[in-house]
Structure 1
Amino acid sequence: MAPRANWKGFLRLSLVTCPVALYPATSESEKISFNQLNRQTGHRIKYLKVDAETGDEVTNEDIVKGYELEKGQYIEVSKEELEEIALESTRTIEIDEFVARSDIDPRYLIRPYYIRPDGKVGHDAFAVIRETIREMDKVAIGRVVLTNREHIIALEPMDKGLVGTLLRYPYEVRSEQEYFDEIQDVKVTKDMLDLARHIVNQKAGRFEPEKFEDHYETALIELINEKRAGKVIRPKERPKGENVVDLMEALRRSVGKEAAPAKADKPAKKPRKAAAGQKEMLMPIAGKKQPKEAAAKKPAAGARRKSA
């Protein structure tokens, strides 16, 4: 069952309109997260909204938005005033233009969403818009309002639905010049490029996300399991970096290092999926959605620290 929609409204291409729902395409809720605790009592830390001058707690009903003109001087803006300037894109994703995918600078990409028809009507119109984008091999550019702000959204077909990726505005993207101007102009020799190309060819492959493992998440799981089992945690020795004295020699050694596994008769070890670490947990993580394959298994009862 699909998660709750982040936004519902209409997708419009000229006079063709259909109701749609927008869902987040990514999630970080499966990652391990920590609570802040009082070291003395073991109790969770609670945050309060307080008046910066009086220190008194303020209820949500008494909190308004304000824009700071000068230090300590604000212009208050009410919810009703913000609703007055609500844009048409609050309820409609209007397709403004079509561009080539290669035209979109990756620095402008923010996050992806899945878009599908909302309800039983509008599937025909949705299919027309989707297949038009697919046939033209273009990306549709529109506007949508999320969290009270208007965003540019790039729409692309995926299977029977659409993927909409939020884009940044130009003023949100920093210029590369202030970071790259001081990089030295270095002449790279043909021999160096040939060796580097050889390394790249030895490492060539296909992008398969399931091969990648979140090593930090795995290390967190191991740490929690070891602490729960009462093991003594000892710091591990950190690998030391090597100073590169001769770049050509480093490239030659790299070529040899990458070629070595190919000579071995033993098959390469299959990388463990990131989700596998979650199944090895000795305890369930409260409030977290367990992987589907682990859902059928009954989790072990987790010990809870008693409050003082």
Structure 2
Amino acid sequence: MAARAYWQGQIKLALVSIPVEVYPATRSGATISFHQIHEPSGKRIRYEKVAPGVGPVDPDEIMKGFEVSKGNYVLLDDEEIEAVKIESRKTLELVQFVDASEIDVLYYDKPYFVVPADDLAEEAYVVLRDALRQSRKVGLGQLSVRGREQLVSIKPCGRGIVMEVLRYADEVHKAQGYFRDIEDKKPDEDLLDLATALIDKKTAPFKPAEFHNRYVEALQRLIDKKRKAHSSKRILEDVEEPGRGGGNVIDLMAALKKSVGSEGKAPPRKPTARKTTPAKAAPRRKSA
């Protein structure tokens, strides 16, 4: 396999150990990086490490410091930090199994593919995969790698197993603090039916390849235009933003009906009585 393994070791379930290799399941998306440039000279801006009142400093004289009070630091060198790192153990012990629905989406951080290390490990690997699928559970354990201990879950994925790094409890904000002021009331049934119909209308299989990073694409087009023009002149394109041009107050029922495509016929207007005024007599011509 061309990719480099993120971790190699054994998944342990009681007395059963399964040699596995773990590979990243994702990669960084398309991005465009910028440098800071001094416009008059066209030169790139560089940064020096300086200490107030001292000026530029030698990199060998720089240490890591933890601020214990304002302006006071506990200094640590690299060897001291390395000495307390958790040894990268070669065993992922599954200590608990839970329903997948019990893990809130906020806890999921990053997925990895788990594959059997060799042909001998494949039988036990398949047994674990199918046991997880049949029980509809995910396994939990803690993985020590690169000086860090991570909480992880494993679950079946097609013909294989996926490991997902989970956030610890202190890394997740409590949702109640953000949703506290939302009133606990039921929406209007007609509005709910229309919104549900709109969801049904727009429901389709998930095809991630159909979605693109439109900002990066637009930025690349802008860069290409300026490169071809050989000019530093500003190029601004007007982009119509959704929601512009209307008032803030909307008729939710009308908007949902229009979105669903089932906008009803407007009720007939009542005839309004037209006010008649007597015709003015034409002015008489003066006789000569």
The residue aligned with 1:158 is 157
* 1:93 equivalent in alignment to 2:98: no
Q: Following the alignment from structure 2 to structure 1, what is the Cα–Cα distance between the partners of residues 19 and 37?
A: 45
Offset at residue 9 of structure 1 (A): 3.1
Matching residue of 1:234 = 236
Q: Is residue 23–residue 114 contact of structure 1 (8 Å, CA) maintained in 2?
A: yes
Q: Which residue of 1 aligns with 2:249?
A: 244
- Give the whole-Å Cα distance in 1 for the aligned partners of 2:123 and 2:45: 52
Query: Which residue matches 2:194?
Result: 195
1:21–1:118 CA contact under 8 A, matched in 2: yes
The equivalent of 2:17 in structure 1 is: 17
- Spell out the pairing of 1:268-279 with structure 2 (5 A cutoff): none
Does residue 215 in structure 1 map to residue 217 in structure 2? no
Tell me the CA shift for residue 62 of structure 1. 4.6
Judging changes above 3 Å, is the alpha-carbon distance between structure 1 residues 21 and 36 closer, same or farther for their aligned structure 2 residues?
Answer: farther
Following TM superposition, by how much is the alpha carbon of 1:188 offset from its aligned partner in structure 2, in angstroms?
A: 2.0
Deviates more, 1:132-141 or 1:33-42: 33-42
Aligned to 2:270: none
For 1:42, the equivalent position in structure 2 comes to 42
Alignment-derived partner of residue 136 in structure 1: 135
Give the match for residue 70 of structure 2: 71
Distance 2:124 2:213 in 1: 41
Q: Which has the higher strand share?
A: 2
Unaligned runs of 5+ in 2: 264-288
- Between the aligned partners of 2:251 and 2:61, the Cα distance in structure 1 is 66
Decide whether aligned partners of structure 1 residues 65 and 33 sit closer, same or farther in structure 2, where only a CA change above 3 A counts: same
- For 1:12 and 1:162, locate their aligned partners in 2 and report how far apart those are by CA, in whole Å: 14
TM-score (norm. length: structure 1): 0.71
In 1, distance between residues paired with 2:50 and 2:250?
Answer: 57
Cα 1:201–1:123 change in 2 (3 A) is: closer
| Matched position secondary structure for 1:179 | helix
Query: How has the CA–CA distance of structure 1 residues 9 and 64 changed in structure 2, closer, same or farther, with 3 Å as cutoff?
Result: farther
Deviation at 1:237, TM superposition (A): 4.5
Confirm or deny: 8 A CA contact 2:12 2:94 kept in the other structure.
yes
Aligned residues of 1:51 and 1:58 also touching (Cα < 8 A): no
What code does the residue aligned with 1:238 have? Answer: E
SS at the partner of 1:216? Answer: helix
Relative to 1, partners in 2 of residues 1:223 and 1:178: Cα closer, same or farther, differing over 3 Å? Answer: same
SS of match in other structure, 1:229: helix
2:102 aligned partner: 103
Report 1 or 2 for greater relative contact order, CA contacts < 8 Å, sequence distance ≥ 6: 1
- Work out the CA distance in 1 between the residues paired with 2:153 and 2:55: 45
**1:133–1:157 Cα contact (<8 Å) kept:** yes
- What corresponds to 2:148 in structure 1? 149
- Matched residues in 1 for 2:64 and 2:90: separation? 23
Q: Aligned-pair distance for 1:209?
A: 1.2
Displacement, 1:139? Answer: 0.9
Query: Number of paired residues?
Result: 258
Aligned residues: percent identity? 39
Q: How many angstroms apart in 2 are the aligned matches of 1:133 and 1:246? A: 49
How large is the Cα RMSD of the aligned pairs?
3.1
Query: Partners in 2 of 1:68 and 1:190 — Cα distance?
Result: 56
Q: Residue 254 of structure 1 aligns to a residue in which SS?
A: helix
Separation of aligned partners in 2, 1:177 and 1:84: 40
Query: TM-score, with normalisation over the residues of structure 2?
Result: 0.75
Partner of 1:117: 116
The one-letter amino acid paired with 1:254 is: S
Q: Is 1:224 aligned with 2:223?
A: yes
Larger Rg over CA atoms: 2
